[in-house]
Structure 1
Amino acid sequence: MELGVNGLNAKAAIGPRATARLARLAEELGYRSWWAGEHVVLPSPRTPESPMAPTDPIVDPLVHLAYVAAVTTTIRLGTAVVILPQRNPVVLAKQAASLDVLSGGRLTLGVGAGYLEPEMTAVGVPMAGRGRRTDEYIDAMRALWTEEAPAYHGTFVSFAKVDAHPRPGGETVRAIPIVIGGHSPAAFRRAVLRGDGWFGNGDSPADLRRHLAGLAEAARLAARPPRLGRLEITWMQLGPLSAGQMEQYAELGVDRLVVYPLPLEDPDDVARFLERHAISRLLDHE
């Protein structure tokens, strides 16, 4: 089970020096992945469902990850998650492929369907149909990344007789791994049918057990395409982790366990958080 970190493009330590320091520290401590979330705008005044205050800063995840790529060498870069219906999939496919190439093939694209109506309205995307739009956008991006003559025709995106290079993977063309975020039946179904992996979060191993049951039910109702292989599980606990909890997550089959330093604001506090959890991971396997 690998260890990752999420959230450091928001609220805490978003300046260039702090970002470079913490990203390099995470890599030195053995963290294998660095994740960044997205909100283009936030409801103002804050609404009950909003995860952040409207004045909380959050750097665009792809811009943030491009910076992190430049100051690290091996740590995997992930979005957790891009709100896919709010993005133009043709443009996003180009941005993601560019970041993957510049980072040496380190990008994982985490996507979700979104849930904040004020944000989607501001971007000009209706809430209705966002699930179907998400599915189409995933398929369209994979076509642009992998097909010899890319083409896709759907309700929300349609193109043919175009091409886009560079392709992810350089000479060995491949699709960028896509992980699906969310805890709804629709998200579980999307992960089974279209995701290389699933990204979830919660407060405890008990939360993960409940969501794994939802994924299992989705897999029972819809056959996973063989080309996707095994569904990888990435899990983020909202709050500090103990060594005992890490062991429980490993027993539950988690591939990547992601820590979440927020709401810490001081880079020194975040650094201590990363060091403490890395040590707990080592102690757990002595």
Structure 2
Amino acid sequence: MKFGLFSMNAYACSFPERAVRIAQLAEATGFESLWAGEHVVLPDPRTPESRMAPEERILDPVVMLTYLAAHTQRVLLGTGIIILPQRNPLVLAKELASLDELSGGRLLCGVGVGYVESEMRAIGVPFAERGARTDEYLDAMRAIWTQQKPAYHGQFVSFEGVQTHPQRNIPIVIGGHTPAAYRRAVLQGTGWYGFALDLSYTARCMAALQKALKQYERPLSLGELEISVTPSIPLTKAIVQQFADLGVHRLILMPPTHLDVSQLEAYITHIGETIIRQA
């Protein structure tokens, strides 16, 4: 089992000096990866589907992970997740390729379709188009990253006769708990990411992923589908083993959001001593 740390661009870690302290401690403690989520804007007043209050701080994940890349050595850097339909795919592809280059190939690009309609509306993306845009943007990004003569023509993005370097074949992690997300993970992802899941929900997601693996032909170039989960329950060695038995490869831990930096350091140290080093 590998262990990641979530919220590296929010709450206590939304302040740069604190984020560096936490990132370096997590790397030294044995965390395999650091993860940063995304909300460009938050609804005000807060709506039922929003996980964050409008006054809570959250920095751009690509910017924050680039900053943390300069202050760490080995730990992987994951976007968990970027709301892909809100982004221009070629601009995002350039930003992510730059981050991967600067970090020495440590990027895991997690993407999802988003779930807060007011955020989409403010950015100017029709909520009903988010799935179709995500499918096209993934194809377009893969084309610009890997093709000798990049070209893509779709409903929402179209280009040819252009180049961008550096080109990087960045791992794509698909987030979401829907049939469409499972399809994307099978057809386009090196991994799948489930957020805030207990063991029972994880088991249902794994069953749905197995169904999708039988329904769709997974490209051989993608290899085995790596499973990441942010657990919604406290961890013990026994719970970690149960997640592993379900087929989970990585647990991305989300600390309580109210912790200050000293409490967060204590949390990371405790996880390292009681979970990671004994896993």
Taking structure 2 as the reference length, what is the TM-score of the superposition? 0.97
CA–CA distance in structure 1, aligned partners of residues 276 and 185 of structure 2: 31
CA–CA distance in structure 1, aligned partners of residues 257 and 232 of structure 2: 10
CA distance 1:284–1:278, change in 2 (3 Å): same
Structure 1 runs not aligned, ≥5 long: 169-174
The letter of the residue matching 1:52 is M
Q: Which residue of 1 aligns with 2:132?
A: 132
Q: Report matched runs for 1:172-251 at 5 Å.
A: 175-251=169-245
Q: Which residue of 2 aligns with 1:77?
A: 77
CA–CA distance in structure 2, aligned partners of residues 245 and 277 of structure 1: 13
Structure 2 runs not aligned, ≥5 long: none
CA–CA distance in structure 2, aligned partners of residues 55 and 69 of structure 1: 27
Q: Which residue of 1 aligns with 2:256?
A: 262
Q: SS state of the match for residue 34, structure 1? A: strand
Query: How many residue pairs are counted as aligned between the two chains?
Result: 279
Give yes or no for the alignment of 1:281 onto 2:271: no
Q: Which residue of 1 aligns with 2:68?
A: 68
CA–CA distance in structure 2, aligned partners of residues 282 and 26 of structure 1: 11
Instruction: Give structure 1 regions of 4+ aligned residues with deviation exceeding 6 angstroms.
Output: none
RMSD of Structure 2 on Structure 1 (CA): 1.2
Q: Which residue of 1 aligns with 2:152?
A: 152
CA distance 1:261–1:239, change in 2 (3 Å): farther
What's the % identity of the aligned pairs? 52
Q: Which residue of 1 aligns with 2:34?
A: 34
Q: Which residue of 2 aligns with 1:99?
A: 99
CA distance 1:205–1:183, change in 2 (3 Å): same
Deviation of the 1:284 alpha carbon:
3.7
The letter of the residue matching 1:221 is Q
CA–CA distance in structure 1, aligned partners of residues 12 and 46 of structure 2: 19
Taking structure 1 as the reference length, what is the TM-score of the superposition? 0.95
Deviation of the 1:216 alpha carbon:
1.2
CA–CA distance in structure 2, aligned partners of residues 199 and 226 of structure 1: 20
CA–CA distance in structure 2, aligned partners of residues 228 and 78 of structure 1: 18
Q: SS state of the match for residue 128, structure 1? A: helix
